[in-house]
Structure formats: structure tokens, C-alpha cells
């Protein structure tokens, strides 16, 4: 077993759990989530497979908790080789429809979580001359589907954060990968907040019908990490919008307008 250490947020379920199980093959795991029971289940699965780890009930919205986690990791292990900023939530509402408290709730988790993680760990990794930061964004960052404005903004911010950090870390030995999956089977829809309950039902249905699950995305992430890729865009439609947004931005805007008009009928 290697002495390498990996920190994963939102490790209690979904993609966070799938990534933790894979990273545990050659890393000691530091698992964080706000769900203590789910965290213990992930840790149990890791130990059953012969891995090592520990759990911390930490909210990614708490800067002091992040600082304490960083200090613990370096005091206990002296290193952090992988940081995965995975914790995330969803909000279904058009611009101006959502309660501002809900918008703040989403941005605090989806955007400030990765900002805090990078803030407290990146410079230590740079000083060590090694490490890999993985930020989980979404294809929504460039597809910008209507009805999920706050979510789109948060994920676009994560992409910008990752691009900037990758440039800043060039030549330091620290790699940065941003992950942009489309719909895949996960529990994010059930925890989603929305103005209209039908939006939650539709989202859950789309997620359940997806042909890709958390294990598929986790495998793609590990491949991207091994290749030191800047982007890990999962699913063909995500790759299509990734290209279209850069080559034909107005076309993507028109597609969004058509979808929005159909949703309002």
C-alpha cells in the first residue's frame, strides 16, 4: 500500500463514493461529507476491499472547517496527493424565480466548496512539487440549459477556477483536471430544490434513464488523471456542446431558446 493520500468531498454517495473506492486502491483516503452514516458506509466498503481511510463530517461551505481539515491532513500524513472537490447540489428555477436563499445555498456548495478546497490545499501541493486537483463541474457549464441558471453559473465558475489554477500550476508538478459529465445516474435529483415539483420529477427521471452511472464517470476521471488531461468531458452530448459552445456560441444560445420556449408551453 502506497503512502499517498487523497481527500474527497461528498464521499458518502454517488460519484464521490465511486471515486473514493477507486482511489483507495493506492491511496490512504480522507473522506468528507455532511452525512455521517453515508461516510461510514463508504469507509466500510474501502476497508472491506483492503484499503485505508478516515472520515470527517465537514461542510464544504465552512472555511474554518476546510482550514482545519488541511492542517489535520498535513500534520497527520505530511502530504496530500489528490484533492477531489466533488460535493454538489442542484436547483431548478429560471432567473428571477428562485428564492435568493436557495441560490446562495447552491453557490456556497457548488462554487465556494471548490474555491475553499483549492485555496487551502493548492499552495501546499505546489510546495511539495506534486499532486492532482480534480474539480467536478458539469456539461451544464457550457450547454447552459434553461431553468437551471444558478447551477449553470456555479459549474461555469468551477471550470474557470480550474483553468486558472492549471495555468498557475504549470511546471510545478501539480495537475488540475475539471470533470464535465452530462446526465448520469446519481442521487443529486432527489436532493434538488426547485420552484416547481415537476422539475424535480423530470430531473430524477432523466437521471434514472441515463445509460451512464457513477462508476462509468469515475473510471473516466481516473483515465483523465492518468493522462493529466485538463478536461474530462463525459458522454457524447457533453462533448458535442463542449465543441459547439466554443465554435458556434450563438447556435447553442438558439438551442437554449428553443428548449426554454417548449418548457414554458
235 sits in the region (left: phi over 0; alpha: psi -120 to 50; else beta) called left
- Are the beta carbons of 94 and 79 closer than 8 angstroms? no
- Are the beta carbons of 118 and 133 closer than 8 angstroms? yes
Q: Clarify whether 151 is annotated catalytic.
A: yes
**Cα–Cα distance, 85 to 177 (Å, whole number):** 11
Map residue 123 onto helix, strand or coil.
Answer: helix
Encode 168-222 in three state secondary structure.
HCCCCCEEEEEEEECCCECCCCCCCEECCHHHHHHHHHHHHHCCCEHHHHHHHHH
Query: Which residue from 23, 19, 58 is spatially nearest to 218, judged by alpha carbons?
Result: 19
Catalytic residue among 74, 116, 151, 231: 151
Place of cell 447556435: 251
Place of cell 505546489: 126
Task: Give the distance, in angstroms, between the CA of residue 51 and the centroid of all CA atoms in the same chain.
Answer: 23
213 sits in the region (left: phi over 0; alpha: psi -120 to 50; else beta) called beta
- Cross-strand pairs, 134: 84, 177
Task: Give the distance, in angstroms, between the CA of residue 11 and the centroid of all CA atoms in the same chain.
Answer: 11
Q: Which residues are catalytic?
A: 151
Amino acid at each position: 500500500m502506497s503512502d499517498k493520500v487523497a481527500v474527497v468531498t461528498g464521499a458518502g454517495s454517488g460519484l464521490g463514493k465511486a471515486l473514493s473506492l477507486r482511489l483507495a486502491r493506492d491511496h490512504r483516503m480522507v473522506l468528507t461529507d455532511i452525512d455521517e452514516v453515508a461516510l461510514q458506509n463508504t469507509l466500510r466498503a474501502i476497508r472491506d476491499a483492503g484499503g485505508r481511510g478516515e472520515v470527517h463530517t465537514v461542510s464544504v461551505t465552512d472555511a474554518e472547517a476546510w482550514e482545519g481539515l488541511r492542517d489535520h491532513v498535513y500534520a497527520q500524513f505530511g502530504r496530500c496527493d489528490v484533492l477531489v472537490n466533488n460535493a454538489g447540489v442542484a436547483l431548478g428555477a429560471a432567473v428571477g424565480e428562485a428564492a435568493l436563499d436557495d441560490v446562495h445555498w447552491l453557490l456556497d456548495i457548488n462554487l465556494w466548496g471548490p474555491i475553499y478546497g483549492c485555496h487551502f490545499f493548492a499552495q501546499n501541493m505546489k510546495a511539495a512539487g506534486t499532486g492532482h486537483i480534480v474539480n467536478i463541474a458539469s456539461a451544464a457549464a457550457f450547454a447552459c440549459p434553461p431553468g437551471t441558471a444558478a447551477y449553470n453559473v456555479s459549474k461555469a465558475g468551477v471550470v474557470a477556477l480550474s483553468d486558472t489554477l492549471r495555468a498557475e500550476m504549470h511546471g510545478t508538478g501539480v495537475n488540475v483536471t475539471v470533470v464535465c459529465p452530462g446526465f448520469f445516474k446519481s442521487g443529486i435529483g432527489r436532493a434538488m430544490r426547485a420552484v416547481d415539483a415537476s422539475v424535480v420529477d423530470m430531473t430524477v427521471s432523466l437521471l434514472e434513464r441515463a445509460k451512464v452511472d457513477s462508476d462509468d464517470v469515475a473510471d473516466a476521471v481516473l483515465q483523465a488523471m492518468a493522462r493529466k488531461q485538463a478536461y474530462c468531458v463525459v458522454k457524447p452530448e457533453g462533448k458535442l456542446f463542449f465543441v459547439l459552445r466554443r465554435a458556434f456560441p450563438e447556435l447553442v444560445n438558439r438551442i437554449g431558446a428553443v428548449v426554454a420556449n417548449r418548457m414554458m408551453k
